Chains A and B, each alone.
Chain A
Amino acid sequence: MPTSSDKDGHRPAPQLLLRELTAGYGGTPIIRDVSIAVGLGEVVAIVGPNGAGKSTLLKAITGQIRSLRGSVRLAEADVTNMRGDLLARHGVGYVPQVRDVFDTLTVAENLEMGAYLLAKSELPERIHEVLAIFPALQKMRHRRAGTLSGGEHKMLAIGRVLMLRPTTLILDEPTSNLSVSLSKTVLNDYVRRTADAGTAILLVEQKAVAALEISDWAYLMMGGAIRLDGPAGELLDRPDFRQIFLGHVAKHIPSETAGTG
């Protein structure tokens, strides 16, 4: 397993750092005191059952809802509650779970929008680079994104976000509508490779085992809070952790093991 964090859990300096982030809707917190770090070159997975607050967390990070407490930092900059368009200027790329491409625009136009912040002169080179990663997109350049299949769709979404060469990449369940083999391709070929090229990746996944297999570090989220974290490989080997994702209700896990990561 490729990894940027060594066996002792030494991790690169955080590029994305959440400190005690608390956020929710209408003043009611859904997530509480979430602290997470993602370093350059790392894939950091957040796994947890449905309703754990993973989507709320991403909305708080990407400025779609206001956080009530805590902070979000990017390298040295405080970006707490920053608007989405300004986050992009700070090098944050975001691929939502659904509605991740502009359906009414062509594939080429989607890529262009991904490079919206770049000068026009940089566009050909960036398109060339992204097409080198996803050669299949070349043939579909003039098709409307809304007509693509699930796999093509996700390929375009990731290609679009890579146009900007993000330093931080936030992926919300990139494999949610994909087959098992396509999921593996997305995680191994696209996500892992992008991190290896130096990007800090925060990966939220429902498919916990598959996500952890390509991650360096992982956080388990339940009931709106981080219940444990640690090197992804170690978590995978823990029977109590596996149990949760085999569908059993693991009542004993949260309080007893929190903070041992």
Chain B
Amino acid sequence: MSVLVASIGFGLISTSILAIAAVGFTLQFGVTNVFNLAYGSVMTGAAYAAYVANQFGVDIWVSMVLGGLFGAALSLLINRGLYTPFARHGLGLAGIIQVTLALGLILENGLQAIFGPSYHSYQMSQGPSFHFGSMVFTAVQVGIMGIALASMIGVHALLAHTKLGKAMRATAADAPLARSCGIRTEFVTDIAWLLSGLLCGIAGVILVMDLQSFTSTTGSNFLVPVLAAAVLGGIGQPYGAMLGALIIGMVSEVAAAVTLPQYKEVIAFVILLVVLLFRPRGILAEVASLKEVVA
């Protein structure tokens, strides 16, 4: 029983990291139609950016913010400098996916060339432990959950209640129509990449804070559950990504506790496949989507 309760605690941490990453990923696809497989490598890049700051003695939480900003800047640059030009030249959805995949590998190998193949760790303390019933969390873990919660509330407030957020959803739904309303869609797209890049960067750093050590492939390995969470909820749908993260995060940790740890991802993916069999457009299709996706 205590194993189960502990696994729910682990599940909450996994959910937190997954939710931030999956919402960022789904925003990129929702607003700009780019299924960005370089996302995991950008997470790793941000983790290394925070690592460099941390090595210079910067506090880990400040380093996390810097990593987030690095992710935002890099994502904006990637979209402006690479994806948009390719799309403008008429490269379709599948072609762009190839470009993102290639970029991901380039980034990953670039990071390995700079930092080497070995594992790195942040200089940080896990802080005091907090007991919630029979669940125990470190201060860092509580911080991670707080950041995830704040991010989700922030994303919701932005999309549902601000003019910029609504313009983002309008651009996602139909960019030419949004332009005809006077919305500067290029600007809105830039903001979407900055925001999703920020989430991507933060997710990369807190993933490493939780794992405690990382290498150049850490982010791209984590991309697999991120994709699962985003697709499970319904790709392009921020609330779907949150729900998907909750399901994948909780199920994989609890399943690992009651069976064997190595079944963690297998069980999560069996659930993904079963759900997609019955709801091919994701759980929240037609509820909170940024766009009508025929995928």
Contacts and interface: CB of A to CB of B under 8 A. Distances in A.
Given A85-B185, A146-B292, A105 B170 contact: yes
Interface stretch (A40-48, A112-120, A181-189): A112-120
Most B Cβ at <10 Å: residue of A64, A84, A89: A84
Contacts of B125: none
A102 B177 contact: yes
Contacts of B173: 102-105
Interface stretch (B102-110, B161-169, B220-228, B244-252): B161-169
Contact of A84 (B167, B179, B286, B290): B179
Contacts, number: 76
A198 interface: no
Given A99-B174, A103-B173, A113 B181 contact: yes
Contacts of B184: 85
Contacts of B170: 102, 105, 109, 113
Given A105-B169, A109-B166, A113-B166, A85 B182 contact: yes
Given A102-B174, A116-B163, A84 B169 contact: no
A200 interface: no
A92 to B, nearest CB: 8
Nearest to B292: A103
Contacts of B182: 85, 88-89, 116-117, 164
Contacts of B174: 99, 102-103
A96 interface: yes
How many residues of B sit at the interface, in one of the four size bands?
Answer: 20 to 34
Contacts of A102: 169-170, 173-174, 177-178
Contacts of B163: 112, 116, 120
Interface in A49-108: 62-64, 83-85, 87-89, 92-94, 96, 99-105
A45 to B, nearest CB: 21
B176 interface: yes
Interface in A108-146: 109, 112-114, 116-117, 120, 146
A44 to B, nearest CB: 19
Chain B binding surface, main DSSP class: helix
B289 interface: yes
A104 B166 contact: no
Contacts of A93: 180
A116 B167 contact: yes
B281 interface: no
B12 interface: no
A114 B290 CA distance: 18
Contacts of B185: 85
A204 B178 CA distance: 21
B172 interface: yes
Interface string B252-295: 00000000000000000000000000000000001001111000
Contact of A114 (B169, B181, B286): B181
A62 B180 contact: yes
A161 B68 CA distance: 39
A103 B292 CA distance: 8
B183 interface: yes
B145 to A, nearest CB: 30
B180 A94 contact: yes
A246 to B, nearest CB: 34
A101 B290 CA distance: 14
Contacts of B181: 85, 88, 113-114, 116-117, 160, 164
Interface of B: 163, 166-167, 169-170, 172-174, 176-185, 286, 289-292
Given A85-B184, A112-B163, A116-B181, 7 more contacts: A87-B180, A101-B177, A102-B178, A104-B172, A105-B173, A146-B286, A146-B292
Listed from nearest, the 6 A-B pairs whose CB atoms lie closest are A88-B182, A84-B179, A117-B182, A102-B173, A94-B180, A104-B173
17 contacts: A64-B176, A85-B179, A85-B184, A89-B182, A99-B176, A102-B169, A104-B173, A104-B292, A105-B169, A105-B170, A109-B169, A112-B166, A113-B181, A116-B183, A120-B163, A146-B292, A160-B181
